[in-house]
Structure 1
Amino acid sequence: MQQAGSPPAAMLFPRIDFGQGAVAAISGGSDSTALLVLLKNHFDRFLPSARLIAVTVDHALRSASATEAQTVAGLCEKLGIVHRTVAWEGAKPSSGIAAAAREARYRLLADVARDEGLDIVVTGHTADDQAETVIMRQARDEGPGLAGMAPATLYEGDVWILRPLLAERRSTLRALLTARGLGWIDDPTNLDPAFERPRVRATLAGNGNRLEDILATTRRVAHEREELSYRAAVLIDRHASQSTRGLIRLAPEFGAEADRQAALQALRVLLAVAGGTSFLPDKDRVAGLLRMSSSGTGRATLSRTVIDVRRAGIFLYREARGLPVPSMPSDGAVWDGRYRITFDDGVEGCVIAPFGREGGLEGTASAREKAPASLFRAAHAVEPAVWRDGIRLGSPGEPGRLPGAQVVPVVAPFARFLSGFDLEVARAVSGLVGAPSLPAPPLKVPAGPQASANA
């Protein structure tokens, strides 16, 4: 960052396509206040027609939070920035409050962006935040998490969360604010040792060498994670197909792929998607399944997914245990972590339940030639169907049967937060199962694995 008084926004934001504008998250702390000032300068100079909307999330966890939000509103009025305060309402959990507050914050920020017709939320996470995050993930032995926070993360498939200050130190941002005569709010919880992050922050205080070492490791791991995502996507594109909805087939050659690390990652992602689980399965257990697939025969279950290895290929489908109980249709709800189902008024008195074992075989003739009929039936049996009075009316989306009911596949491990580090493999598996296409990240970078959405 340049010295205070110069236009650092011209260096920080030229790679971001802000489109119609952005929502800027501001708590009143030094990082988010500096971000807002820099964004304001950038929009005024380069994007005069774009909208900048500052949003403060009042978590209602401290008595002073409402007053602090009013202080932020006053600052925004002084700077000529539209400001909104949104509150985290309802009961708060007795444990895991930091994680719950983070979830609520992103949800509320994204809601404002959607209401305003925008698809970008910008946050003020700094290099200090990045180092703290990595240390906390190290303590939990989160290998891929050592890549830290991605510069771009897709939230619920339609709102990009951007973090343009990840290379900037908090001390530099505070110096900028001080030079401009602007103050900030110090949240007392940032010093409370009852919380993990303040404890980690204290260990880093005054130890610039350790922080730089951590950030160097983070950059290396981030690059490796992006590369792995690209290589896994290549294998999915090369070997995977969908014989019928809910039945994924990997060509027999997949088990013999030389890039074992990429094959392992691809299989982990496919298992989670087929089973509708939010988290990728354990590496060691999937490595065992990969060895089994190399042998050309075997059957096992992991992450609610059956993996059935036959001469015709390696087949993945949702196991029959633990399926959702019959329930009333809820428009737009996600069923079993695998499908989002929408309805019109034609399903009154109906319930959604698994299709069951009896029924015809779907899929093209060429697909059926590559998969045993028993697997078609097993996969079809765990698909959602509409029932009324114990009679199955059909599956949502079946031509001519339920024209007012539609089913859209969901890629469970990336449905809520899709780190830009994993964008390539997410694109590959979304295309495989017919999930909605992923929007392009608003970062202006060359295409290819060496310069992904997070370069």
Structure 2
Amino acid sequence: MQPYFAPPGNPFSERPLPPTAFIASIKRLGPWLPDAPGLPPVGLAVSGGGDSLCLAWLARHWRKNLLAFVVDHGLRADSAQEARLTLQRLAAMDVPARLLTLTNLAKGPGMAERARQARYAVLAQACREAGCLDLLLGHQADDQVETIRMRQDSGSGPDGLAGMGWVTALPDVRLVRPLLGVSRLALRETLRQAGLTWVDDPSNQDTRATRVRVRHNLQEQDTRLALWETSLCAGAARMQRDAEQASILSRHVAFRPEGWACLGPELPEPEVLSRLIRGVGGALYPPSPAAVARLRAAGQEATLAGVHLVRRRADWYLVREAAAMAAPLPAEGGARWDNRFELSIPSALSGQGLQIGAAGLGLDRGVRGGWPALFCATLPALWRQGQRVAVPHLGWWAEGQFKYARFLFQPPVSVTGSGVYGWPEVKADGRATRE
């Protein structure tokens, strides 16, 4: 069983990719809004490198209503100039573009991961502001097999060996990778044939980076093809497990809009438990399979990956660990706190010194509606000058003007999110759905 979107042929061919082939492939990754100027554009993440620039050129043959985002990370002296050059090249293609500048990145430990997270955060924010429902990314087949090899080396579980999803559904934008079946060389040949040039990032030759070392060790096409087949098989198996787990979760687990999950009297299997922990903790990736297996085998209250496993009467619960929650931030409409809750608030309340933070302890028993104080302490609340003024999930507010504030629980990845659009996902209320 292969994922329905896997294109035919050798993904590591060096032949240029015709726009007609790209169009046929991307149409299968829909649904897409009509290509009309009055509707939200499809977003493009364009670094200026060969992969993303080729993506922009191909996408321009597919539709007109596009909006490219060029991120200047500021980590190299030439980054600003390269970003401006990329904007010029996009303009020559008749692709509208916006420059996004990162100003708070500093060199040091974990820089690559920090830069990646900051880049995705600013891209997601730009998509929200522009109304983009979809963001196209330039990851290609070589990126995929490099990812698989790195995950093999790190002892990743079967889900990890499926690699990157062709479509990843985040709370407010779909990440779409239409070039995963095309090689790096084929994309560059496509640009050469079109008479286009691109930016070569010198960091891609720095062998101190794990991915660069892996890339240099994956020169044999047979090895790359074997890893590609591994990803297809693992992806198909992952989608099947996702469907099965969605059914299990819809019958046995209550995932609450308050951000915690009731597991019932028995703990679920480690793989299901792992994904529940990811959802309650607002994480992009599940915790270590070995750590989850130990947690389940112990059968005791404990914390893992920012989540507290607790037992109340006969049932087990997963609740956010209070010490791991995010710091307060200004309360503005659309603000996302703790990577899990999005605030909806009347515009009249914005700019009044309100902040979003954890509700904390001290809520009256009657206000808590029967829920333990430990649980309610993790709820998002509105604060003003150090005073709690609203806990919307409990229907409590100090002043009537706050009763229209709402927090929507939106973990960054669905509980059974395989990263493949169209397969069952479990929403925050625990219901299994098929998009």
- TM-score using structure 2 length: 0.77
* CA shift digits 1:191-240 (9 cap, x unpaired): 122322222211123x1111111111111112222222222221111012
Q: Does 1:98 align with 2:99?
A: no
Q: Distance in 2 between matches of 1:181 and 1:326?
A: 50
Q: Which residue of 2 aligns with 1:322?
A: 323
Count of residue correspondences:
404
Q: Distance in 1 between matches of 2:372 and 2:230?
A: 46
Q: Distance in 1 between matches of 2:195 and 2:300?
A: 67
Q: Which residue of 1 aligns with 2:275?
A: 269
Q: Does 1:396 align with 2:392?
A: yes
Q: Does 1:229 align with 2:227?
A: no
Q: Which residue of 2 aligns with 1:441?
A: none
Q: Which residue of 1 aligns with 2:102?
A: 88
Structure 1 gaps, min length 5? 44-49, 293-297, 364-372, 439-446, 448-452
Shift of 1:127: 0.3
Q: Distance in 2 between matches of 1:349 and 1:130?
A: 44
Relative to structure 1, the CA distance from residue 195 to residue 148 in structure 2 (aligned partners, 3 Å threshold; closer, same or farther) is: same
Q: Which residue of 2 aligns with 1:42?
A: 62
- TM alignment of 1:218-257, pairs within 5 A: 218-241=231-254, 245=258, 248-252=261-265
| Bigger shift: residues 382-391 or 160-169 | 382-391
Relative to structure 1, the CA distance from residue 6 to residue 24 in structure 2 (aligned partners, 3 Å threshold; closer, same or farther) is: closer
Q: Distance in 2 between matches of 1:133 and 1:290?
A: 29
Relative to structure 1, the CA distance from residue 189 to residue 268 in structure 2 (aligned partners, 3 Å threshold; closer, same or farther) is: closer
Q: Which residue of 2 aligns with 1:175?
A: 189
Q: Does 1:21 align with 2:36?
A: no
Shift of 1:407: 4.7
Between structure 1 and structure 2, the one with the greater Rg is 1
Q: Distance in 2 between matches of 1:227 and 1:25?
A: 30
Q: Distance in 1 between matches of 2:73 and 2:341?
A: 31
Q: Distance in 1 between matches of 2:130 and 2:386?
A: 44
> Could you tell me whether the CA contact under 8 Å between 2:257 and 2:428 is conserved in 1?
no
Q: Which residue of 2 aligns with 1:431?
A: 429
Q: Distance in 2 between matches of 1:173 and 1:244?
A: 44
Q: Distance in 2 between matches of 1:111 and 1:340?
A: 13
Pick one of 191, 209, 212 that aligns with 2:225: 212
Which amino acid in structure 2 is aligned with residue 222 of structure 1?
A: G
Relative to structure 1, the CA distance from residue 251 to residue 25 in structure 2 (aligned partners, 3 Å threshold; closer, same or farther) is: closer
Q: Which residue of 2 aligns with 1:11?
A: 24
Q: Distance in 2 between matches of 1:69 and 1:393?
A: 44
Name the structure where helix makes up a greater proportion of residues.
1
Shift of 1:22: 1.3
Q: Does 1:283 align with 2:289?
A: yes
Q: Distance in 2 between matches of 1:8 and 1:142?
A: 33
Q: Does 1:153 align with 2:164?
A: no
Structure 2 gaps, min length 5? 1-8, 10-14, 34-39
Q: Distance in 2 between matches of 1:236 and 1:288?
A: 21
Shift of 1:283: 2.9
Q: Distance in 1 between matches of 2:21 and 2:251?
A: 44
Shift of 1:87: 2.0
Shift of 1:181: 2.3
- TM alignment of 1:399-414, pairs within 5 A: 399=395, 401-402=397-398, 403=400, 404=402, 406-408=405-407, 410-412=409-411, 414=413
Q: Distance in 1 between matches of 2:244 and 2:212?
A: 37
Pick one of 124, 133, 136 that aligns with 2:138: 124
Q: Which residue of 2 aligns with 1:69?
A: 83
RMSD of aligned Cα (Å): 4.0
SS in 2 for 1:158: coil
Which amino acid in structure 2 is aligned with residue 23 of structure 1?
A: G
Q: Distance in 2 between matches of 1:234 and 1:401?
A: 37
- TM-score using structure 1 length: 0.74
Identity of aligned residues (%): 28
Shift of 1:382: 5.0
